Amino acid sequence: MQCAKCGREVKYLFYFEGIGYGSECFKTVTGMTVEEHESNQRIKKEKQTKEEFILNNPIIYVCIDKDSYNKKDSLKANKFQYHYKWWIGFNIEGLEELEFLQFSTEEYFQGWGYCYSSKTAYEFLASYEEDEKSLYREIETELKKKDTSNWIGQEKEKVQLKVTLNKITGYSNDFGWTNIYIFKDENDNTLTWKTAKDMEWEEGQEIEIKATVKAHEEYDCKKQTSILRVKEV
Ligand SMILES: [Zn+2]
């Protein structure tokens, strides 16, 4: 192989603007070593690929639908991935009936250089950790804004309420099993009672209760009131 500048036989040719040079002449012609040139080309390509990606996927969709778990196969089919607490993706074709938050891809992915081969929202998201965290903070802020429910009463206040038992769950630890009774009041506010007691209640049942407010808490960006000393009236 022959260098196009000096005509010498060389083992490898390095191309610049379509012309092949030996490594020494390459440096003379381009002002860069072969390695510097290749690194520049790679960075240029990564930048270009990222710009194309943002152009083709301008909106990050975060599924906040109550039904998202049941729709997970459809979400997966659209390359949505479950990350942290949410299904996140770029394509909602056929999923328009679900509820999504929308964010600008460009705004949350300022970092570049690692994401050029990303095929999915998850890979893209994970490619730049700071962007990922700031997106999650923003999702939580938006969800808190959307939460129209309220806390009940004041700490230590005794309350009497008509509630529906929404869910019975629980956990076990060294002290045994603890039930968690989750109630909704008439205004869709959430109350939770953690107790070792087993009540003769069923999910969906309407109950009038007396209780003491223990604390105002937040769970999954929603307000909930934990209560103590619950008695059926
Ligand atoms: Zn040469």
Ligand 1 mean position, distance from CA 9 (Å): 8
Ligand 1 mean position, distance from CA 5 (Å): 5
Ligand 1 mean position, distance from CA 16 (Å): 13
Domains and CATH numbers, the chain: 1-31 (no CATH), 54-146 (no CATH), 158-232 (2.40.50.140)
Question: Edge-to-edge, what's the strand order for the sheet holding 81-83?
Answer: 81-83, 86-89, 59-63, 100-104
Ligand 1 mean position, distance from CA 64 (Å): 62
What pLDDT sits at residue 113?
39
What pLDDT sits at residue 48?
80
Ligand 1 mean position, distance from CA 26 (Å): 7
Ligand 1 mean position, distance from CA 6 (Å): 4
Q: Which two tokens stand for residue 136?
A: 């999650």
What mean pLDDT value characterizes the chain?
88
Ligand 1 mean position, distance from CA 40 (Å): 22
Ligand 1 mean position, distance from CA 4 (Å): 6
Q: Which two tokens stand for residue 181?
A: 């009774």
pLDDT digits (tens, 9 = 90+) for 3-36: 999 999 999 999 999 999 999 999 999 999 999 9
Confidence grade of residue 124 (pLDDT, cut at 50, 70, 90): low
**Could you tell me the end-to-end alpha-carbon distance of the chain, in angstroms, rounded to an integer?**
95
Of 56-60, 113-117, 137-141, 217-221, give the lowest mean pLDDT range.
Answer: 113-117
Ligand 1 mean position, distance from CA 167 (Å): 78
List C-alpha distances in Å: 157 to 31, 79, 175, 195: 77, 48, 28, 19
What pLDDT sits at residue 72?
92
Ligand 1 mean position, distance from CA 14 (Å): 10
Ligand 1 mean position, distance from CA 31 (Å): 14
CB 181 within 8 A of CB 192: yes
pTM: 0.67
Which H or E element spans position 37?
helix 34-56
